[in-house]
Amino acid sequence: MKDVFGIVAKRLGLGLVTLLIVSIIIFGAVEMLPGDLAQAVLGQSATPETVEAMRKELGLDRPAPVRYLDWLKGAVTGDFGTSLANKRPVAEQIGPRFANTLFLAAYAAVIAVPLSIGLGIMAALYRNSVFDRVANVATLTSISSPEFFVGYILVLFLAVLNPLFPSISSLSEDMTLAQKLERTFLPALTLVLVVTAHMMRMTRAAIINLLASPYIEMARLKGVPNWRVITHHALPNAWAPVINVVALNLAYLITGVVLVEVVFVYPGIGQLLVDSVTARDFPVVQASCLIFASTFIILNLLADVGAILTNPRLRHPK
């Protein structure tokens, strides 16, 4: 057990170091953008005195390392500063948007995870059959198609030619859960089609890779049915790679929804990020990028911990 805690603590430490490096990259990338931020906010007609006053208000007259440390200290406490576009606290804008993104990601995950694992088990169970070949072709097609293309195809067939679902996913606080599920079905289906293919193929590959193991051959020689060999012998030992790929795809569902949210005008943090980039609202851009990076790193850490707990060889590497 001490080995497990030591490995998990080491992963957590590496995650914090990674997040620190990512925060430096985010802040540095904004700093290296061409032009003067104060001039961009005020416009070309601003006087030099007004620009200088704005620079002091934004803290641009201080050294970059000092501003980075202040920004990082505020981010740790949940204070991301004030929006340049509407003078509201950044955290106040990001909170509801991030909740909407989590709702969309959870909606897609509830459908995609059991579906992909089930399809992966079926494809491994009926390897080289018609079902396996059709599933491989369908998943390769889904993986090869960009998210925005899949989204527009779904809008065409399910919202324009056959008006079953709304093409614009506008949400309000007074909506019921059923109404929200209906409004967000098309963006959720887009994400499901994109991530299911990857998880299904990895589940299939992990199970097939174990089917050549000696204990699998022994189970077959004892007359165990093929489906039982996969579900009771191969699948438990395939959980480590499956958990890894599921966690990575869950991270994608949260951090990779920018294009999907833009296509369906979904009020999530991805749409907010795009709008803030257009408006040059850099405090919101920095906060959104840091939240995306934190979410991705946390889910990767959970994937590592899950793999360690389900695989004895990772708990006892010697």
Span of 40-49, 105-114, 300-309 with lowest mean pLDDT: 40-49
The predicted model gives 31-38 an average pLDDT of 70
In a domain, 299, yes or no: yes
Q: Which residue has the higher pLDDT, 13 or 310?
A: 13
Indicate whether 176 pLDDT > 80. Answer: yes
- pLDDT for 35 equals 66
Q: What is the pLDDT of residues 188-201, one digit of tens each?
A: 999 998 888 888 88
CB 276 within 8 A of CB 288: yes
In a domain, 236, yes or no: yes
When pLDDT is cut at 50, 70 and 90, the band that residue 258 belongs to is confident
- Long-range CB contacts for residues 130-133, cutoff 8 Å, separation at least 24: 132/204
In a domain, 145, yes or no: yes
What amino acid occupies position 202? M
In a domain, 261, yes or no: yes
The CATH number that applies at residue 123 is: 1.10.3720.10
Distances (CA, A) of 171 to 105, 120, 156: 15, 34, 21
The predicted model gives 144-164 an average pLDDT of 88
In a domain, 83, yes or no: no
In a domain, 76, yes or no: no
Rounded to two decimals, the pTM is 0.83
- Percent of the chain at pLDDT above 90? 8
Please tell me the distance from the alpha carbon of residue 25 to that of residue 110, in angstroms, as a whole number: 33
Alpha carbon 95 to its chain's center: 17
In a domain, 84, yes or no: no
Total domains in the fold of the chain: 1
In a domain, 224, yes or no: yes
Distances (CA, A) of 121 to 27, 219, 226, 272: 44, 18, 11, 38
Q: By residue range, what is the domain housing residue 220?
A: 98-315
